Each structure stands twice: as C-alpha cells, then as structure tokens.
Amino acid sequence: MLNTIGLILLFSILFLVLLFVFFSFRAYFFGAPFVPSNYGVIKKVLDYTDIKEGSVFFDLGSGDGRVLLEAAKKGALAIGYELNPFWFFISKINVLLHGLNDKVTVKRENFMQAPFSEADILYLYLFPEKIAQIEQMLQKKLKKGAQVITYRFPFLNWKERKKFEKEKVFLYVKE
C-alpha cells in the first residue's frame, strides 16, 4: 500500500517536472523563458516613467508578477500576459498575497494578442529577436506618448529617452 502511494507521488512529481520543463522550453520559441527582473531595477526605472493613478501598464511575459506588483503599487492598472501556466499561477497567488487583485490582472494569453493601443506604459524583458518584432508592431499600434521600457535588450530603431547603462534598461516614448 505504502509502495503504491509512493509510486503515485513519484510519478505525479515527475509529471509536474516534465510539464514545467515543457512549458519553459516552449517559452524559448514564444519570447523568452522565465528569468526575473531585478527588483531594484524595476523600482528605479518606474520612477522615470509617467506612471500615475490609473495608468494602463502592460508587462509582456509577466512571469511571477513582480513588475506588475510594483506598477500597481504606484497606482497603475497593471495587466500581465503570461503563457506558462506555472508562472501564471504563481503570479496570481503573488497578487492575492499583496492584496492588489483590484489593480492587477494576469491573463494566460500570448502577448501578441494584447490590445497594444490601450497601453500607457509597456515593459519588455524578452529575447532580442522578439523585441525587434514587437518594436515594429508597436510602431504601428501604440498611441503617441506611450512609454516602453526594455530590459537587457534595446530597440534597434527607436531613440531612447533614457538609458541606464549599468542596469541595461532603456526607456522609449512613442512619437
């Protein structure tokens, strides 16, 4: 009996690990796997944006929700898109634990389907190829004055409003 329970437990854990590996690997093709932004960097760069009460803030690939939480603490309506069900679930818990569920929405959707024209501020921490693809799309879809933060990898054609050399963060404003 104990052996059977042990085997069921072992296979369940193995199954969950395999699922996690599968979804993490899949993220490589859709944008980037989960690597969290540094908290200090998020807080610093948000201070240089026009974020205020009611700003619509998107994190494209929101991971564990940490960027959304910081944006919401500054009054924004933060919307995250996260394909990986594990990080989606963790971010939902994170939002509940912080009592910010009236300010933060996390969608288990591909961010390519996001209504970009509604965003005031967007945050991107993705592979350079995806950043380049989104840059072109935002050129058409983003409203004038909207701000874009990219972490680690810059846009190729937009001129940055502010650049944090050491932290590798770039802030753009749509013209």
Ligand X SMILES: C[S@@+](CC[C@H](N)C(=O)[O-])C[C@H]1O[C@@H](n2cnc3c(N)ncnc32)[C@H](O)[C@@H]1O
Burial (CB count <10 Å: 0-12, 13-18, 19+), residue 51: buried
Burial (CB count <10 Å: 0-12, 13-18, 19+), residue 86: middle
Question: How far apart are alpha carbons 128 and 153 in whole angstroms?
Answer: 6
Among 57, 58, 87, 172, binds ligand X (CB under 6 A): 87
Residue 157, phi then psi, degrees to nearest 5:
-115, -20
150 binds ligand X (CB under 6 A): no
133 binds ligand X (CB under 6 A): no
- Find the binding residues for ligand X in span 26-45 (CB under 6 A): 27, 30-37
Report the residue number, 30 or 158, with the smaller CB distance to ligand X: 30
104 binds ligand X (CB under 6 A): no
Q: At what angle do helices 39-46 and 66-73 cross, to 10 degrees?
A: 40
How many CB atoms sit inside 10 A of residue 46's CB?
20
Question: How far apart are alpha carbons 58 and 45 in whole angstroms?
Answer: 15
Residue 174: CB minimum distance to ligand X, A: 20
Report the residue number, 81 or 142, with the smaller CB distance to ligand X: 81
Among 110, 141, 167, 174, binds ligand X (CB under 6 A): 110
Q: Tell me which stretch binds ligand X (CB under 6 A): 5-13, 83-91, 141-149, 160-168.
A: 83-91
Interacting residues toward ligand X by CB under 6 A: 27, 30-37, 59, 61-63, 66-67, 81-84, 87, 110-112, 125-126
